[in-house]
Amino acid sequence: MAGLLLCAIFTSLPGFAETVLDTLPTLEAVSSRLELTPEQEAKLRPLFEKRMSELLQAQLLFQRASTPQQKRNVLSETKLAGDAFNAQVESVLSPSQQHEWREFRSEQREKVKERAEDKQSSQ
């Protein structure tokens, strides 16, 4: 599922920046929804900045990949980095916030999936 999601993100290159923002919610949105403390925000800010940078770098690598295997490798590495990001985020959150974070991420994935389906059906 994550691989399909990443593939949908990376294949919609013209709208990539907007799609990335859909998959990676802003720290402000997360803070509001999860009611983060200032200390939690301070710990999460560099994680979110790093993740955005990773996604943008992955997009560039995906664009430059010349074979299907290279593209799969980029997607695989991006998924692993995403898993690590989520684990780092969850390590800062309380158990109830972790539950809400997982729900929020699920909603974000669903939005991106719907956008990808809409885009495919309009082509």
Residues 78 and 54 sit within 8 Å (Cβ to Cβ): yes
pTM of the model: 0.78
112: Cβ–Cβ under 8 A, 6 or more apart, which residues?
A: 5, 8, 9, 19, 22, 23
How far, CA to CA in Å, does 31 sit from each of 11, 34, 78, 106? 30, 5, 24, 17
Residues 44 and 27 sit within 8 Å (Cβ to Cβ): yes
pLDDT in tens, 64-117: 999 999 999 998 998 999 999 999 999 999 999 999 999 999 988 888 888 778
